Amino acid sequence: MIVSATVHVFSVCWTVMLKNSLMSQKPESFTCDSTSDPAPVASTSSSACVPGVAGLGFTLLLSLVVGCSPRDRALGQGWIDVTATLDPATTPVYQGDAPMKFDFLKDMRKGDKLTLSVYSLGAHSGTHIDAPMHFVAAGAAIDQVALDPLIGAARVIDIPDSVQAIDAAELNRHDWKGAKRVLFRTRSTLRGWMDSSLFHRDFAYVAPDAAQLLADAGVVLVGVDYISAEQFGAPAPRTHQILLGRGIPIVEGLDLRPVQAGDYDLIVLPIKVRGHEGAPARAILRKRTHQEPA
Ligand SMILES: [Zn+2]
């Protein structure tokens, strides 16, 4: 919390310093009032933080210490999109699921006065979230899934290309304990399968014994990088039943090519559809550079 507050204060200071540098071009001593409210500071020329050469150097030094520019954090930069782009030409559809259809009803490129389109797609298309209702009769629908599991610290774990079954033994080869949200970066990412319309049956999956370990450890979200977390052709949907039975949403179909293994902040938010068992989602990650509450 202390580090978090510090970063916030420097973010505010940095913004004001830049503004004042542009407005006054006068070197002044560096002071920082950590109690000032950022809104009025940003909207007036009165300054809580005034830059001097020493102050600028000090801030740059602290930027290196926290690992990123305070200005970047203030502007919300550093987020990496790990959503598979929905495109009927490249998005895989699970065997037997509904085909995706994207059509333009009107198209300005063809002389219409506006552009208007329509989508038809399965609820489990591309990057999406399975709500408990998917495999639990009385489970929560997608519009009832709490936000807490969907926003916060997440650990990306690299699973080698040779591994198809992420079972308990494979899981325990990796540093996953203590993580609140676990995302598996597997052969599916290495082979670019979320960007390939051909459906691959031999995607890596979370085996039931690993799902049990994750659920028992208090993990609040599990993510995989292909359109199902379950083994293709599994005799029973045990992995789904174990995770969803504990109320743990599953993110499926992540495209984790832009990230490496490590700790990130995650935001993954599904479309809010009343009473359905799943929905496409947008997922973004940002490298964690400091300790914050998970
Ligand atoms: Zn699904």
Q: Which two tokens stand for residue 86?
A: 């929905």
CA of 253 to the centre of ligand 1 (A): 8
Total domains in the fold of the chain? 1
List, in order, residues 6 or more apart from 75 with CB less than 8 Å away.
none
Residue 1's alpha-carbon distances to 67, 263, 292, 294, in angstroms, are: 17, 17, 6, 11
Q: Is residue 37 part of a domain?
A: no
Residue 57's alpha-carbon distances to 26, 51, 104, 188, 251, in angstroms, are: 16, 10, 54, 45, 43
241 by Cβ neighbours in 10 Å (0-12 / 13-18 / 19+) ranks as: middle
Q: Is residue 276 part of a domain?
A: yes
Q: Is residue 63 part of a domain?
A: no
Per residue of the chain (294 residues), give pLDDT as tens: 444 433 343 333 333 333 333 333 333 333 333 333 333 333 333 333 334 444 444 444 444 444 445 555 555 689 999 999 999 999 999 999 999 999 999 999 999 999 999 999 999 999 999 999 999 999 999 999 999 999 999 999 999 999 999 999 999 999 999 999 999 999 999 999 999 999 999 999 999 999 999 999 999 999 999 999 999 999 999 999 999 999 999 999 999 999 999 999 999 999 999 999 999 999 999 999 866 666
Residue 196's alpha-carbon distances to 99, 193, 228, 266, in angstroms, are: 14, 5, 15, 24
**β-bridge mates for residue 49, sequence order:** 32
**Active-site choice (128, 134, 200, 290):** 134
Q: Is residue 265 part of a domain?
A: yes
Q: Is residue 246 part of a domain?
A: yes
Q: Is residue 273 part of a domain?
A: yes
CA of 177 to the centre of ligand 1 (A): 25
Contact status, residue 184 vs residue 166, Cβ threshold 8 Å: yes
Q: Is residue 19 part of a domain?
A: no
CATH code at position 184 = 3.50.30.50
Measured from the Cβ of residue 274, the count of other Cβ atoms closer than 10 Å reads 8
CA of 122 to the centre of ligand 1 (A): 10
**Is 134 in the active site?**
yes
Whole-model pTM: value is: 0.75
CA of 41 to the centre of ligand 1 (A): 46
CA of 176 to the centre of ligand 1 (A): 23
Residue 254's alpha-carbon distances to 224, 259, 268, 281, 282, in angstroms, are: 6, 11, 10, 10, 9
Q: Which two tokens stand for residue 37?
A: 């409210």
What CA–CA distance (Å, rounded) separates 77 from 8? 14
What does the pLDDT read at residue 292? Answer: 65
List the end-to-end C-alpha distance of the chain, in Å, as a whole number: 11
Q: Is residue 41 part of a domain?
A: no
Helix (H, G, I), strand (E, B) or coil at 151: strand
Supply the range of the domain harboring residue 207.
85-90+123-287
